[in-house]
Amino acid sequence: MEGFLHQLLLGLASGSIYGGVALALVMIFKATHHVNFAQGELAMFTTYISWSLIQAGAPYWVAFALTLGGAFLLGSLIQVAIVRRVQHAPVLTVVIVFIGLLIILNSLAGWLFGHTTIDFPSPFPADAWYGSAYFSPHEVGMTVVTLATLALVYAFFRYTRLGLAMRAAALNPASSRLVGIRVDRMLALGWGFASLLGAVAGMMAAPIVFLEPNMMVGILVYAFAAALLGGIENPWGAPIGGFIVGVMENLAGAYVVGTQIKLAVALFIIVAVLVFKPSGLFGRRSVVRV
Partner 1 sequence: MSAILELRRVDASYGPVAVLQSIDLTVEKGEVVALLGANGAGKTTTLRAVSNMMVRTGGEIRLADQRIDGLATERIARLGVAHVPEGRGTFEALTVEENLQLGSYVRRDRDVGRDLARVYGYFSVLAERRRQQAGTLSGGEQQMLAIARALMLRPRLLLLDEPSFGLAPLVVQKIFGILGAINRDATRAPACCWSSRTPGSPSSWPGTPLSSRPGGWS
Partner 2 sequence: MKKSRAPAITVAVLLVGGCVAPFAISSFHTFQLTQILIYAIALLGLNLLTGYSGQISLGHGAFYGIGAYAAAILLDHAWLPYWATIPVAGAVCFAVGFGFGLPALRLEGPYLALATFALAIATPQILKHDALEKWTGGVQGILLDKPEPPGLLAGPLDADQWLYFLCLVFVVVSYVIGWNLVRGRTGRALIAIRDQPIAAAAMGIDTALYKSTTFGLSAMYTGVAGALGALLTGFVSPDSFTILVSINFLVGVVVGGMASILGNLFGALFIVIVPNIASDISESAPWAIYGALLILIMILMPRGFAGMVRAVAARRG
Q: By the criterion CB under 8 A, which residues form the site for partner 1?
A: 161, 164-165, 167-168, 171-172, 174-183
33 within 8 A of 189, measured Cβ to Cβ: no
Report d(CA 272, CA 205) in Å as an integer. Answer: 28
For partner 1, give the closer residue by CB, 164 or 208. Answer: 164
Pick one of partner 2, partner 1, none as the site partner of residue 182 (Cβ within 5 to 8 A by kind). Answer: partner 1
216 within 8 A of 35, measured Cβ to Cβ: no
195 within 8 A of 75, measured Cβ to Cβ: yes
Which residue type is seen at 86?
V
Least Å distance between CB 183 and partner 2? 20
User: If binding is defined by CB under 8 A, does position 104 make contact with partner 2?
Assistant: yes
Report d(CA 123, CA 259) in Å as an integer. Answer: 28
205 within 8 A of 48, measured Cβ to Cβ: no
Site residues for partner 2, window 174-233 (CB under 8 A)?
Answer: 221, 224-225, 228, 232
For partner 2, give the closer residue by CB, 59 or 100. Answer: 100
Site residues for partner 2, window 226-255 (CB under 8 A)?
Answer: 228, 232
118 bridge partner residues: 211
Of 66, 168, 274, 281, the one binding partner 2 (CB under 8 A) is 274
User: If binding is defined by CB under 8 A, does position 108 make contact with partner 2?
Assistant: yes
3-state secondary structure of 118: strand
For partner 2, give the closer residue by CB, 216 or 232. Answer: 232
Across 177-206, b (16+ Cβ under 10 Å) vs e yields eeeebebeebbbbbbbbbbbbbbbbbbbbb
Which residue type is seen at 254?
A
Pick one of partner 2, partner 1, none as the site partner of residue 93 (Cβ within 5 to 8 A by kind). Answer: partner 2
Least Å distance between CB 91 and partner 1? 22
Residue from 214, 205, 213, 238 nearest 224 by CA: 238
Least Å distance between CB 67 and partner 1? 31
Q: Which of these ranges, 66-74, 90-98, 130-138, 149-157, lies near partner 2 under the rule CB under 8 A?
A: 90-98
Of 69, 100, 114, 125, the one binding partner 2 (CB under 8 A) is 100
Of 86, 208, 254, 281, the one binding partner 2 (CB under 8 A) is 86
Which residue type is seen at 92?
L
Q: How far apart are the first and last CA of the chain?
A: 53
User: If binding is defined by CB under 8 A, does position 155 make contact with partner 2?
Assistant: no
| CA-angle at 164, arms to 158 and 168, nearest 5° | 130
3-state secondary structure of 60: helix
Least Å distance between CB 84 and partner 1? 14
Least Å distance between CB 203 and partner 2? 24
Residues engaged in binding partner 2 (CB under 8 A): 29, 35, 82, 85-86, 88-97, 99-104, 106-108, 110-111, 221, 224-225, 228, 232, 258, 260-261, 263-264, 267-268, 270-271, 274-275, 278-280, 288, 290
